[in-house]
Chains A and B, each alone.
Chain A
Amino acid sequence: MKAIDMRHIYGNKKYRGRWVAMKSHQDLEIVAYDHTLKGVLGKSAKKGIPHPAVLEIPDKILPIIGGYRIVE
């Protein structure tokens, strides 16, 4: 099975630091992007996609080593 190729989304500089909305989990065409989730959902709804699949693209794409931990 091939990995789902998201490089066109993560690699596009205009999406860095923004929420992006894709048509669905299966159709990864970008329909909107914005600084906030509320904003991107609003833009997507105006384009006739009220329930897009959303993702926040980080400013920099860096490898993850370990996760978060709860501290006192």
Chain B
Amino acid sequence: MSGESFQLFLTFGFFIVLTFVCGLYCIVVTRNLIRAIVGLELLIKAATLLMIVVGYVTGRTALTQAMVITIIVIEVVVTATAAGIALRVFRHNESLDVRKLNRLKG
């Protein structure tokens, strides 16, 4: 890896880590289910961008693009299912607050 590529990787890595911290904090702190899904999305986006940057600096953009497309497909399915579950929770509890999820069986 050349010095210029390494510097590019570090620069992007800095912002990717910040985005990751943002999403992680959102998941840990929030009490709203939809906002928790937003946090999860941010985590996935940080991972996706990291993959693209690694592909660029190592010269394997075809491989990383194929993997990123797989990630995006899985991301969409996870989000749609999570949104459906959040809706079901809302219908049961009349709220999206995770503290009110105390009527679950088991």
The yes or no verdict on A and B being binding partners is no
